[in-house]
Structure 1
Amino acid sequence: MTARIYSPARTAMQSGTAKTGRWLLEFEPERPREVEPLMGWTSSRDMKSQLRLWFDTQEEAVAYATRNGLAYRVEEPHQPRRRTLSYSDNFRFNRVGQWTH
């Protein structure tokens, strides 16, 4: 069973940077989920799929996996591309776009 170590991205409701530097260790599912025919619920007999371990740094997560003999893979986080815009840029003399009013 392979463990996945990654730093989750911010949610759509999150604008700040709190809880973004943490690392998560999750296990890959061993079997696909099963649909219970009577009620239509989705179930799994894999108990490790419910286990999520949080770490402060990537090194701590890797050390935990190696100490417990877990096969793991590390996924590096993607840094968002951001442009810094300010309100005063709307009124620049050398503005590239057309004035819309």
Structure 2
Amino acid sequence: MVARIFRPARTAMQSGKAGTREWLLMYEPEEAKKVEPLMGYTSSGDMLAQIRLSFESREAAVEYAERNSIPYRVEEPKDPTRRKVSYTDNFRYDRRQPWTH
């Protein structure tokens, strides 16, 4: 039962960074989820999959895991790389792709 310590990425439906500042401690699943044949529900007997603890910093999450002797794995966040895009580049005369309108 290994715990993951990570900072969640923003969802595709989100333009802001709400909920991405905190660090989460979640357990890795011990058994695979199975589909119930009659209704098609997905279920699991793994009760630790329901635990989701949030912390203000990475150090606080690591300290909690060490204090409670929980084996853990830290996943460092990948910060997005942003390209500088200028609106005026759409109207340049030496564009790479010619204007199609």
Same fold (TM over 0.5): yes
Unaligned 5+ segments in structure 2 are: none
Unaligned 5+ segments in structure 1 are: none
Percent of aligned positions with the same letter in both sequences? 60
Q: Which amino acid aligns with 1:42?
A: T
**2:60 maps to what in 1?**
60
**1:17 maps to what in 2?**
17
**1:97 maps to what in 2?**
96
Instruction: Give 1:23 deviation, angstroms.
Output: 0.9
1:4 equivalent to 2:4? Answer: yes
1:42-91 Cα offsets, whole Å, 9 max, x none, are 22111110111111111111111111110000011112121021212334
Q: CA RMSD in A?
A: 1.9
Describe how 1:69-80 pairs up with structure 2 within 5 A: 69-80=69-80
> Paired residues, what number?
100
SS at match of 1:79: coil
Flag the 1:29–1:98 CA change in 2: closer, same or farther, 3 A. Answer: closer
Flag the 1:28–1:98 CA change in 2: closer, same or farther, 3 A. Answer: closer
Rounded to whole Å, the distance in 1 between the matches of 2:91 and 2:31 is: 58
1:48 equivalent to 2:69? Answer: no
